[in-house]
Amino acid sequence: MLLEQVLADVQNLLNGDNSGHGADHVERVYYLSMKLAKDENVNKDVVALAALLHDVDDYKLFGDDNAKNLTNAKKIMQQNGVDEQTSAQVCDIIANMGYSKCLQGIRPKTKEGMLVSDADMLEAIGAVGTVRCLAYALAKCHSGTDQIFDRNVWPEINLSAEEYKKPNRKSDNFINHFFEKLLKLKDLMMTDAGKKEAQIRHQFMLDFLYEFFRENECPDWIEFLENFGNKKA
């Protein structure tokens, strides 16, 4: 009953999102987190709550103040009677996960946090991740801006956390996002189950990009992809 009510509160917050960070994303992260945690000796209630609440204060959706204070996550847990110890564990997980945090050297410290972090990063890659990335790019589209692919604008592959979060970067488009983030996530998995699933999803993205560049007759981008893959190996 608790998780159902928390999910309902999350849906109320996120159902209007069209950037790939909506309630459907949260539900997939929840189910994937529970799948990864199935055979682990962890507090599954903490895993479940962290998975459901991990995006309710995302800086991209709610701003930096919410992201810093976890305003919505704390409010939802308080309204649903989550005890203080559990709430603190959940907030600690959310505060220490995410790619921009990883760029700052901040990672989850508990096994529960590692599982949710892996699930969230897995959601960003593979077939579903590719669709989510495209949805986010299209949501940002505006007149005069190509958010899908520009063969003359190359990715910035060594962005700092501050640079990564900077709005309206010239290189920030659908295809470049693979090189600036998505193709790096395989190596950031923290659990054995996460690493195994990431291998499958990573290969899908490589195949997709190769075919995209082949169809668009971009041999220089195919070479870039091959060199990038060798560097990450």
Residue at a domain's end among 86, 110, 134:
110
Residue 6: name the closest of 44, 61, 50, 69 by CA: 50
Tell me, what CATH number does 224's domain have?
1.20.58.1910
Query: pTM for the whole thing?
Result: 0.90
Tell me, what CATH number does 65's domain have?
1.10.472.50
Kindly give the interhelix angle for 2-14 and 44-53, rounded to the nearest 10 degrees. Answer: 20
Average pLDDT, the chain: 90
pLDDT of residue 144: 44
Rounded distance between C-alpha atoms, residue 217 and residue 149, angstroms:
13
What's the domain range around 52? 1-110
Cβ partners under 8 Å of residue 94, min gap 6? 50, 53, 54, 57, 70, 73
pLDDT of residue 226: 95
Domain count, the chain: 2
Rounded distance between C-alpha atoms, residue 172 and residue 164, angstroms:
9
Residue at a domain's end among 110, 142, 177:
110
Q: Is residue 227 part of a domain?
A: yes
Segment 62-77, tens digit of pLDDT: 888 888 899 999 999 9
Q: Is residue 19 part of a domain?
A: yes
- Determine what percent of the chain is predicted with pLDDT higher than 70: 93
Residue 138 and residue 70 in one domain: no
Burial category of 10 from C-beta neighbours within 10 Å (exposed 0-12, middle 13-18, buried 19 and up): buried
pLDDT of residue 60: 77
172 in the Ramachandran plot: left (φ > 0), alpha (ψ -120 to 50) or beta?
Answer: beta
Residue 135 and residue 42 in one domain: no
Segment 108-122, tens digit of pLDDT: 999 999 999 999 999
Residue at a domain's end among 110, 144, 174:
110
